[in-house]
């Protein structure tokens, strides 16, 4: 009897150990698969919960370009997957002047037209002009033209740093677009992140200005919480 009890104890210990090893193995496999197949934001809490956020639409003027092959081709933008920030590289010029430049592209012959435009331009005083509707592509961000909205920002001097008014409008506009299209922080990019071009210059020269800007967007979104959306 004593021998049998000892044997049973031994068996129980073996079964428990096997069970423990199996559980550990399953946890490990599940963990690996979640890591392999999950996209950003899948694991744990999402970065931004848009069900409780509503950003008011910033004041903006619709001044759409005339449809033309060099700045407003009328090509549908099927799904907005990001926002690209630019600087005009035209120190001291305002939103209207840059919009006029885009509009003037229609005069260029089709075969050697410099294809350039942007969905939005933010002026030195923070005024936002809409040049291309959000459901059409603009010519600003190279391979990302097909799935992003572009924002050109005016700047007072060669450093490319935005005025406070431009900067605040940019934060508001980007936060609004993030909410509207439910974008993640990683979907907010610079032209530099697409092509390596030094655009927007100040935010490429000073990476901390870019990370600071993205933090401000998150803070803006988080403070735009509502009770019932
Ligand atoms: Zn650019």
* Contacts with 103 (C-beta within 8 Å, 6 or more apart), sequence order: 65, 66, 71
- How many domains in the chain? 2
> Would you give the DSSP letter of residue 225?
B
Q: pLDDT tens digits, residue range 157-196?
A: 999 999 999 999 999 999 999 999 999 999 999 999 999 9
Residue 152 lies in a domain: yes
pLDDT at 192: 98
Mark whether 15 and 116 lie in a shared domain. no
Q: pLDDT tens digits, residue range 101-142?
A: 999 999 887 767 689 999 999 999 999 999 999 999 999 999
Question: Which whole number is the average pLDDT over 56-69?
Answer: 97
The pTM score is 0.80
Q: 228 or 203: which carries more pLDDT confidence?
A: 203
Q: Is 153 helix (H, G, I), strand (E, B) or coil?
A: strand
**Helical segments of the chain, H only:** 2-37, 95-104, 164-181, 191-195, 201-205, 207-223
Q: How far apart are CA 38 and CA 50, in angstroms?
A: 20
Residue 14 lies in a domain: yes
Q: Cα(195) to centroid of ligand 1, in Å? A: 9
Residue 44 lies in a domain: no
Mark whether 111 and 216 lie in a shared domain. yes
Q: Cα(93) to centroid of ligand 1, in Å? A: 15
∠ at Cα 127 (122, 130), nearest 5°? Answer: 65
Q: Cα(205) to centroid of ligand 1, in Å? A: 14
Residue 154: both structure tokens together: 């005016």
Q: Which domain holds residue 119?
A: 50-223
Q: Cα(215) to centroid of ligand 1, in Å? A: 21
Residue 64 lies in a domain: yes
Residue 5 lies in a domain: yes
Residue 55 lies in a domain: yes
Residue 56 lies in a domain: yes
As beta bridge partners, residue 121 has: 129, 152
Mark whether 2 and 78 lie in a shared domain. no
Residue 204 lies in a domain: yes
Mark whether 88 and 195 lie in a shared domain. yes
């Amino acid at each position: 009897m004593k021998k049998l009890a000892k044997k049973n104890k031994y068996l129980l210990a073996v079964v428990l150990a096997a069970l423990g090893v199996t559980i550990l193995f399953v946890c490990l496999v599940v963990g690996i698969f979640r890591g392999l197949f999950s996209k950003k934001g899948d694991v744990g809490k999402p970065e931004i919960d848009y069900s409780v956020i509503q950003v008011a639409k910033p004041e903006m003027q619709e001044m759409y370009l005339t449809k033309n092959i060099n700045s407003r081709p009328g090509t549908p933008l099927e799904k907005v997957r990001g926002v690209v920030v630019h600087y005009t590289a035209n120190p001291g010029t305002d939103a209207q002047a840059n919009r006029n430049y885009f509009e003037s592209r229609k005069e260029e012959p089709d075969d050697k037209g410099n294809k350039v435009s942007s969905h939005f331009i933010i002026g030195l005083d923070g005024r936002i002009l809409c040049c291309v509707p959000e459901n059409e592509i603009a010519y600003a961000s190279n391979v990302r033209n097909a799935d992003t909205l572009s924002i050109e920002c005016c700047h007072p001097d060669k450093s490319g740093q935005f005025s406070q008014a431009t900067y605040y409008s940019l934060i508001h506009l980007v936060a609004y677009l993030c909410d509207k299209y439910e974008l993640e922080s990683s979907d907010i990019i610079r032209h530099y992140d697409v092509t390596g071009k030094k655009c927007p210059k100040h935010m490429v020269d000073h990476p901390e200005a870019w990370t600071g800007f993205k933090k401000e967007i998150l803070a803006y979104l988080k403070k735009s919480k509502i009770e019932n959306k």
